[in-house]
């Protein structure tokens, strides 16, 4: 692993590399990102952040990489992270979040990421329950939240929030199957935005929202941005698939489904797939 320099670096393709200096110059936070590790390459920023957290890293510590060789997605999937094209970061949080509120974190972060992207490029970002952001019908962002729980105190020891946003063009960088479902901000909008600026805006909004997460104020915006409410879906949970209609986002950020037999249930895990007509 190689620590990146504090000045702007260019790859042979002319891509501006991420640098600690550029990110710090954009930051307007009190805590988040004030302890910052910027790496050229790592297997997974979540893995690295977890090691730091286990070693006592401070609340608000952020790990950022220009390239992930084994980026992690939800349900054990990989997150493809081409060099120089995305914002791949993991944030360590230690601020007495209750275990009961843990399942709110991913949904809250989805709202924040959507708002940050929209602020910089003016695009309409949608959320697919529970952790994916879509633009122009294709995925541009994934979120993975991992936590260490202290059961005696009913509090989280720490939370690792991993966020991967496809920023620059991915043309020619994905295989044919992935090209059908994944895209980037630049490919969908034509906008070239600074990854350092996006990082700063994202961390600022995260700091504001996470301090108020237990109020659940973000849920209204989450539902407004949902691309799944009102759609027929297949829910895959614990190896079982059931079809129904997504009707609401619940107060615990679960997805409320009216199944084909008329039963209404709220699910908090598994995968929701929109059924095409």
**Residue 63 forms part of a structural domain:** yes
Supply the pLDDT for residue 193: 93
**Residue 264 forms part of a structural domain:** yes
Q: Which of 203, 162, 149, 202 is CA-nearest to residue 47?
A: 162
108: its two tokens: 């809250």
Residue 63 and residue 188 in one domain: yes
Supply the pLDDT for residue 239: 85
**Residue 6 forms part of a structural domain:** no
Instruction: For residues 152 and 160, give the distance between their C-alpha atoms in angstroms, rounded to a whole number.
Output: 20
HSE value, Cβ hemisphere, 13 Å, CA-based, for 37? 23
Residue 211 and residue 264 in one domain: no
Supply the pLDDT for residue 28: 96
Residue 241 and residue 144 in one domain: no
CB atoms within 10 A of CB 85: 21
Supply the pLDDT for residue 1: 36
Q: Could you list the residue range(s) of the whole structural domain that residue 249 is in?
A: 232-274
Q: Dihedral through CA 106, CA 108, CA 109, CA 111, nearest 10?
A: 130
Residues 186-230: tens digit of each pLDDT: 999 999 999 999 999 999 999 999 988 989 999 999 999 999 999
Supply the pLDDT for residue 12: 35
Supply the pLDDT for residue 13: 43
Which residues on adjacent β-strands are paired with residue 38? 64
Residue 193 and residue 115 in one domain: yes
Q: Which of 180, 95, 198 is CA-nearest to residue 136?
A: 180
Supply the pLDDT for residue 269: 87
Instruction: For residues 169 and 189, give the distance between their C-alpha atoms in angstroms, rounded to a whole number.
Output: 10
Instruction: For residues 102 and 28, give the distance between their C-alpha atoms in angstroms, rounded to a whole number.
Output: 26
**Residue 14 forms part of a structural domain:** no
pTM value?
0.90
Supply the pLDDT for residue 151: 64
Number of domains in the chain: 2
DSSP code at position 97: -
**Residue 4 forms part of a structural domain:** no
Supply the pLDDT for residue 39: 94
Residue 135 and residue 237 in one domain: no
SS3 state of residue 22: helix
Instruction: For residues 129 and 210, give the distance between their C-alpha atoms in angstroms, rounded to a whole number.
Output: 19
Residues of the chain with pLDDT under 70: 1-17, 72-78, 151-153, 277
CATH number, residue 40: 3.30.930.10
Supply the pLDDT for residue 96: 77
């Amino acid at each position: 692993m190689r620590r990146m320099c504090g000045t702007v670096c260019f790859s042979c393709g002319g891509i501006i590399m991420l640098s600690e200096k550029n990110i710090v110059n954009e930051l307007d936070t009190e805590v988040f990102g004030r302890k910052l590790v910027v790496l050229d390459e790592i297997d997974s920023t979540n893995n690295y952040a977890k090691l730091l957290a286990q070693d006592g890293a401070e609340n608000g510590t952020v790990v950022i990489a220009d390239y992930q060789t084994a980026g992690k997605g939800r349900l054990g999937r990989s997150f493809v992270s081409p060099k120089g094209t995305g914002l791949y970061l993991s944030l360590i949080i230690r601020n007495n979040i209750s275990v009961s509120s843990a399942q709110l974190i991913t949904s809250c972060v989805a709202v924040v990421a959507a708002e940050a992207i929209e602020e910089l490029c003016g695009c309409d970002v949608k959320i697919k329950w529970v952790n994916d952001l879509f633009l122009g019908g294709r995925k541009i962002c994934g979120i993975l939240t991992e936590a260490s729980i202290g059961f005696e105190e009913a509090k989280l020891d720490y939370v690792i929030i991993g966020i991967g946003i496809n920023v620059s063009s991915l043309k020619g960088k994905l295989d044919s199957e992935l090209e059908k479902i994944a895209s980037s901000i630049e490919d969908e909008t034509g906008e070239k935005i600074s990854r350092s600026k996006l990082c700063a805006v994202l961390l600022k909004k995260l700091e504001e929202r996470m301090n108020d997460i237990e109020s659940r104020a973000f849920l209204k915006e989450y539902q407004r941005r949902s691309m799944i409410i009102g759609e027929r879906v297949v829910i895959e949970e614990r190896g079982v698939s059931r079809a129904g209609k997504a009707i609401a986002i619940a107060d615990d950020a679960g997805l409320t489904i009216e199944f084909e037999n008329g039963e209404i249930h709220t699910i908090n895990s598994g995968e929701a797939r929109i059924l095409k007509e």
